[in-house]
């Protein structure tokens, strides 16, 4: 019980609320142009949350609905839990390099049907289960 209360406190402390906008004012959000013809929907977003000392992934509803690129590099994230990114259905690129990830639960990347690029380099991952990548049917670069 104490752990759950502490976890909720940390989320609220980092988040300052809930909704569809980035949780932390340190995250930067940009309009993103698609490489296919140079056109994009006005709501396609690139969100950068680098060098923020994050110890866990922010809740998926912390990011704009049309996030296509999410950069979480150079933080202190240690594990990816089941459903960590669930709901980010338009996400095409996820950058988690240079964190402290040592554990990835099966289903951590569920709900990312559009994901094409996933960067997990420079982490402490020792063992991978095949179920970790379940549902990543469009992944072309790992």
In tens, the pLDDT along 99-131 reads 999 999 999 999 999 999 999 999 999 888 888
CA distance 120 to 64: 22
Domain edges within the chain: 1-142
| pLDDT digits 0-9 by tens, 30-55 | 997 655 455 555 579 999 999 999 99
Smallest CA-to-CA distance from 120 within 99, 138, 97, 140 is with: 97
The strand pairing partners of 31, in sequence order, are: 45
Percent of the chain with pLDDT over 90: 64
SS3 call for 26:
coil
The pTM of this model reads 0.77
Decide which of 3.80.10.10, 3.40.630.10, 1.20.120.610, 3.30.499.10 is the CATH code for 1-142. Answer: 3.80.10.10
């Amino acid at each position: 019980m104490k752990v759950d209360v502490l976890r909720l406190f940390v989320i609220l402390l980092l988040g300052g609320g809930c909704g569809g906008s980035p949780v932390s004012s340190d995250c930067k959000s940009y309009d993103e142009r698609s490489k296919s013809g140079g056109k994009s929907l006005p709501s396609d977003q690139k969100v950068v949350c680098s060098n923020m000392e994050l110890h866990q992934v922010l809740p998926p509803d912390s990011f704009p609905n049309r996030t296509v690129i999410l950069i979480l590099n150079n933080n202190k994230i240690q594990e990816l839990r089941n459903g960590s990114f669930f709901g980010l259905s338009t996400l095409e690129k996820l950058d988690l390099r240079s964190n402290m990830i040592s554990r990835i639960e099966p289903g951590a990347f569920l709900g990312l049907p559009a994901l094409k690029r996933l960067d997990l380099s420079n982490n402490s991952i020792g063992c991978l289960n095949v179920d970790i990548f379940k549902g990543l049917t469009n992944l072309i670069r790992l």
